[in-house]
Structure 1
């Protein structure tokens, strides 16, 4: 299966790093371009023709909403996901009117990015299933699916038993920072899986994440228990 090409338009180092790292962990997706400005994004969109574009709203030389309009007017057949700290209703309304697939509020959480990617894959599968689709599939495409499992206490990709095992382990540790690798070794999880659960706990406010730039290479994610 060919991996879905993704372009990131983001001028914040931390947000860009988290996005690229998270997306490339998924075997269905691959980041083909990372841009820090509107002008750079226009040039790379033409060169790489990404199927999915992650767009920040506040860029050094313009607005992400305007970028989407420009790319669409040039005939780019991409899907768009907003990644921004903007929460005002006017901006959200404009994004919806442009047909944005999802809207992720900063600080970016790994678990939420993975959910957005899963939703996009589901969207593609439903559209590609047949030439015509039934009302249930149409409702799902328009986020009106009333048949979702409301009995789950955790989102898709987060197993309750594994989460309990992790939280119980954290209760036995001190307050020193730790990495996903540390957790994986302690409770027998892969690094990628451990990071997904840590990102979920971060989103819930149970741990906090900082980037360690003193690694001699790419920054390393370190987590700490919240007090």
Structure 2
């Protein structure tokens, strides 16, 4: 599935940088770029299929970005919104959080932080689309924000990237039963060999347990589960 993104940014250069980043991210496409509130609302009103995600700056020329946040939230409840802004004031951040933003990124934004946000958006959407009901434990795992990038991953061995490690860790945490490298690869969007390498790294670190599933025929299959 490809998620459609609307970029609302008055700085043409920054808007283009965000566009390029989105278009280079697997599973995402730019639906439009708007530079003010009037054009943004006009675009949304004209769409038969709404974008999945809005990247919104707090500073736009014809209205306060937070006012536009609440207007989009009032008219289009199904759209997720991420604030991408230089606004650092706690009051602004608190209001954005009250408005239900999916994330709040402060400029200048590092590409790794943007990538983390997009990956988490994909994972949560995919996870929720696969269930009709959730137990509390499943929901807690699904809604953990900014998971996978922590100080414990600083000294990683060569070939182990903290963002990819976070994706594998988060993907594994979504299931209550052991998973194969193939199933984790499909869920997280990496290759089977990559998923296997990261899973074995986690086994070596003691955070994941590996077991063999002999099944009925054929070679035994290695399955992984997060340790409780």
Q: Does TM-score exceed 0.5, indicating one fold?
A: yes
Residue 72 of structure 1 aligns with which residue? 73
Distance 1:133 1:40 in 2: 38
Deviations along 1:1-26, whole A, 9 cap, x unmatched? Answer: 3x111100001123212210011112
Call closer, same or farther: CA 1:152–1:136 in 2, change over 3 Å.
farther
**2:148/2:163 contact within 8 Å kept:** no
**1:6/1:50 contact within 8 Å kept:** yes
TM-score where L is the length of structure 2: 0.62
SS of structure 2 residue aligned to 1:53: strand
Matches within 5 A, 1:123-162: 123-143=124-144, 151-153=152-154, 155-157=162-164
Call closer, same or farther: CA 1:140–1:64 in 2, change over 3 Å.
farther
Residue 45 of structure 2 aligns with which residue? 46
Distance 2:148 2:21 in 1: 29
Q: Does 1:81 align with 2:82?
A: yes
Matches within 5 A, 1:1-227: 1=1, 3-48=2-47, 49-143=50-144, 151-153=152-154, 155-157=162-164
RMSD across aligned C-alpha pairs, in angstroms? 2.5
The CA deviation at 1:55 is 0.2
**2:149/2:163 contact within 8 Å kept:** no
**2:8/2:33 contact within 8 Å kept:** yes
Residue 201 of structure 1 aligns with which residue? none
Distance 2:132 2:29 in 1: 28
Distance 1:105 1:149 in 2: 18
The CA deviation at 1:109 is 2.1
Q: Which has the larger radius of gyration?
A: 2
Deviations along 1:107-127, whole A, 9 cap, x unmatched? Answer: 122221111100101111221
**2:4/2:28 contact within 8 Å kept:** yes
**2:59/2:65 contact within 8 Å kept:** yes
Distance 1:146 1:26 in 2: 19
**1:58/1:84 contact within 8 Å kept:** yes
Call closer, same or farther: CA 1:30–1:146 in 2, change over 3 Å.
closer
Distance 1:155 1:142 in 2: 20
**2:149/2:162 contact within 8 Å kept:** no
Q: How many residues align?
A: 158
